[in-house]
Structure 1
């Protein structure tokens, strides 16, 4: 049984809760679909936990921003958070992020951070047409922060949602399990006030962390699959 996590975004409080639950559920392996970095203030703790537990991790677009020094073209809020993380990230953790790849296969499971047309930064919505020319039967990606399972004629896709910043109106941390050929989605409550207090202590205003209480983007927008692109 494989645990699938994604979009941790520097929220180590949420990551600890999810990993503890996966241990309880008996996951034999955990994989991360990227975006260890971005948004919240515990970038080093997240990197170090994933490395210590030897969790196979993809590169997400926020990880790429941290690794390359590039800015996010869509959001000034993202760039404020990235600037903070660049100021505190330890050299070995930045080197580890730089070494990650955005796409891989774990047995029969094809994984990317974004999508199969743009592994880093595609907000994809699964469909028969989308997967018609993509080889394989099992697929998983993150990036949207909206959990879903989609089943086609002979292909199954899962987005585990976000560990560190859910955007579907449910503030609980989200993850998935793959047992054989079957995906299941899971949610778990965690101490949101704790990461909010850490953000406050790091110098951030409530604008950057109030959204965690209602499961939205920074600024309060709730996402759905239909509203992503």
Structure 2
């Protein structure tokens, strides 16, 4: 069975629909999302609708957690600005669905969380041999850092599929990963960013909130 993993969509439906179209050409048996469907960009309803229609299982990310619980991010005002706007447009049915997301999932031998296994919601995992030696299992997937990578440690393999909607590894193309039962493979696809910029402007946000999409910057905007 061939699996695909997506993460950190963040309301960027333009990136998501391009990734899903690419996955449709790869004979994927099941797609999984490792969190952060909402946050940052305006098309959160479209993103939720796509995952729900395709019955894509997802874990809860930290932005999903903020939205579902009515809270805010303790470390970023810009994140909170985006959340405040998104709460005014989020459809109730999608909010109720978001509240049901688990914090962990398993697909056969693959274990999934959004952050890490110390804190499934909000750990910024830096893979090391010692980290995974403490865990049971063979294959591990998480997101949250927006940095795409594969890490081999003894008999264990960890994969971060990178971010669909807001890459932070210097490559602005939307990211995802596939898994053939033994090995992960990383993928990138280009998408139409201008639609995202136009929607953010229409919602009242300036370049600070979306400029980083152009370069795959670690910050919202590459300074």
Global fold match (TM > 0.5): yes
Report the CA distance between 1:213 and its aligned residue. Answer: 0.6
Contact 2:173 2:188 in 1 (8 A): yes
Give secondary structure in 1 for the equivalent of 2:186.
Answer: strand
Question: 2 CA distance for matches of 1:220 and 1:134?
Answer: 36
Give CA-to-partner distance per residue, 1:174-216, whole Å, 9 cap, x none. 0000011100000000001111111111221111111111112
Residue 203 of structure 1: aligned partner: 204
Please say which of residues 194-203 and 158-167 is displaced more in the overlay. Answer: 194-203
Give secondary structure in 2 for the equivalent of 1:25.
Answer: coil
Q: Does 1:119 align with 2:117?
A: no
Residue 75 of structure 1: aligned partner: 76
Question: 2 CA distance for matches of 1:104 and 1:169?
Answer: 29
Question: 2 CA distance for matches of 1:148 and 1:210?
Answer: 23
Residue 90 of structure 1: aligned partner: 91
Residue 219 of structure 1: aligned partner: 221
Residue 25 of structure 2: aligned partner: 24
Contact 2:6 2:32 in 1 (8 A): yes
Question: 2 CA distance for matches of 1:209 and 1:126?
Answer: 28
Q: Please give the residue correspondences for 1:160-175 in structure 2 after superposition, counting only pairs within 5 Å.
A: 160-175=161-176
Please say which of residues 7-16 and 202-211 is displaced more in the overlay. Answer: 202-211
Runs of 4+ displaced beyond 6 Å: none
Question: 2 CA distance for matches of 1:19 and 1:66?
Answer: 24
Report the CA distance between 1:219 and its aligned residue. Answer: 3.0
Question: 2 CA distance for matches of 1:14 and 1:104?
Answer: 24
Question: 2 CA distance for matches of 1:92 and 1:160?
Answer: 28
Give secondary structure in 1 for the equivalent of 2:25.
Answer: helix
Contact 2:210 2:221 in 1 (8 A): no
How many residues in Structure 1 have an aligned counterpart in Structure 2?
221
Give CA-to-partner distance per residue, 1:137-192, whole Å, 9 cap, x none. 00000000000001111100000000000001110000000011100000000001
Please say which of residues 51-60 and 193-202 is displaced more in the overlay. Answer: 193-202
Report the CA distance between 1:220 and its aligned residue. Answer: 2.1
Question: 1 CA distance for matches of 2:134 and 2:173?
Answer: 35
Q: Does 1:180 align with 2:212?
A: no
Using the size of structure 2 for normalisation, the TM-score is: 0.97
Give CA-to-partner distance per residue, 1:118-150, whole Å, 9 cap, x none. 000000111111011200000000000000001
Question: 2 CA distance for matches of 1:66 and 1:136?
Answer: 31
List gaps (5 residues or longer) in structure 2. none
Residue 57 of structure 2: aligned partner: 56
Question: 2 CA distance for matches of 1:29 and 1:16?
Answer: 16
Give secondary structure in 2 for the equivalent of 1:67.
Answer: helix
Q: Does 1:105 align with 2:139?
A: no
Give secondary structure in 1 for the equivalent of 2:24.
Answer: helix
